[in-house]
Amino acid sequence: MKYLANLILLIAVSFTFTVSSQHTNFNTQRNWSLNKKEIAFGFGATQFTGDLGGRDRIGTDYSLVDIDFPSTSIGGYVGYRYRFHPFWATSTNFHAGMLRGNDALTNEVIRNSRNLHFRSIILELNQRIEAILFANEKFGARYKLPGHKGFKDHNEQLYIFAGVGINYFNPKAKLDGSWVKLRPLNTEGQGMDPLMVYPGNGEDPYMYTPPKPYKPFTLTIPMGIGFRWGLGRMWRMGVEATYVKTFSDYIDDVHGFYYDPTKLGSPEAAYLSNPSVNNTNWFAPGQMRGQPQKDAYYYLNMTFQRNVTYKDYAKQRRSYQWNRGRYKF
């Protein structure tokens, strides 16, 4: 509920800010309408924020302060964007990338001793709405004529966006030189029988019921900010930063409590569920293996957009008749 409330607040504030501060610099109505349809692609860095890895501290908010730069990986996307208003656009995007996390890369004692790691491919399809905060789109003189003082083309936009998507993930860990799929191993006893736990330290025994097996899909909420500028009239490039909130805590295969490794069914599962190297009494069955908080990740991409509206405009020009009104965009 906390994240839903924060999301609603962010959307409300963004909408209010957008309506009050949107600014355009068009020299004709035609300028923005000639940039209605674009195909896009991009590439850049990905960063995971969840249970594994992180800075040299215990991270409970999975925010920018917990980013683990050595675990940065790569990703990219392709998409289609339709601008239906001078200030608004919608886009459909397909992202592919890799996420990583490794406790061995942090000096925080508990994480480092826990010694878990993972990598996972992510395949995400999303639909999002863009609110254009600033647009400077002016077409200058195409030809330099003697005695004619023209101006250069401008094609810049600053925008924010939010949307909804679906994500596929498949966490793996390295064992004996090979990457092993973690979900089939049920490393936290998913779907297995309840386990009697004896925590010690004067605490009473209790019955631990493992969670159900998780699915490799989750809904996502991408949101972020971007800036793009023109490379002539047909191309734009830009920079875009995206935060992706997920509704799964299993992208890194870590969620709740340790299960009895002798009952996991295989030596692989037993080791990968608990490869701790120091202070092993901290990681006994029934002890916390991870924080029950939904995972998130970031994109930072260089983007490229190709205008495909001009084909439609050329058809309109060929069918235009001078005695029948104006163009309609």
Place of tokens 């965009």: 329
pLDDT at 329 over 50: no
> Comparing 138 with 84, which gets the higher pLDDT?
84
pLDDT tens-digit series, residues 159-170: 999 999 999 999
Q: What is the pLDDT confidence band of residue 51, given thresholds at 50, 70 and 90?
A: confident
Q: Which residue has better confidence, 320 or 247?
A: 247
- Burial profile 136-172: b = 16 or more Cβ within 10 angstroms, e = fewer: bbbbeeeeeeeeeeeeeebbbbbbbbbbebebebebb
Angle at 191 between CA 179 and CA 262, to 5 degrees: 65
Q: What is the pLDDT of residue 327?
A: 42
Residues 292-320: pLDDT tens digits?
889 999 999 999 999 887 654 445 444 44
Q: Give the pLDDT mean for 167-177.
A: 95
Q: What is the pLDDT of residue 196?
A: 82
Name the CATH code of domain 23-140+151-183+214-262+271-319 (choices 3.20.20.150, 3.40.630.30, 3.40.980.10, 2.40.160.20): 2.40.160.20
Nearest to 205 by CA among 217, 196, 194: 196
* pTM assigned to the model: 0.81
pLDDT above 90: residue 35: no
Residues 138 and 154: their CA atoms lie apart, in Å, by: 5
Residue range 96-137, pLDDT digits in tens:
999 999 988 888 888 888 999 999 999 999 999 999 998 887
117 beta partners:
102
Band of the pLDDT at 288, cuts 50, 70, 90?
A: confident
pLDDT of residue 143: 52
Stronger pLDDT, 293 or 247, i.e. the higher one:
247
More confident call, 293 vs 3:
293
At residue 85, the pLDDT reads 87
pLDDT, residue 153, reads 66
Mean pLDDT of the region 128-154: 70
Question: Which sequence spans correspond to the domains of the chain?
Answer: 23-140+151-183+214-262+271-319
**pLDDT tens-digit profile of 190-216?**
999 888 877 666 677 888 888 899 999
Cα distance between residue 251 and residue 122, in whole Å: 9
Predicted pLDDT of residue 92? 97
Mean pLDDT score of the chain: 81
Distance of CA 141 to the CA centre of its chain: 40
pLDDT at 1 over 50: no
Distance CA 133, CA 35 (A): 16
pLDDT at 46 over 90: yes
Q: Which of 96, 37, 35, 41 is nearest to 302 (CA)?
A: 41
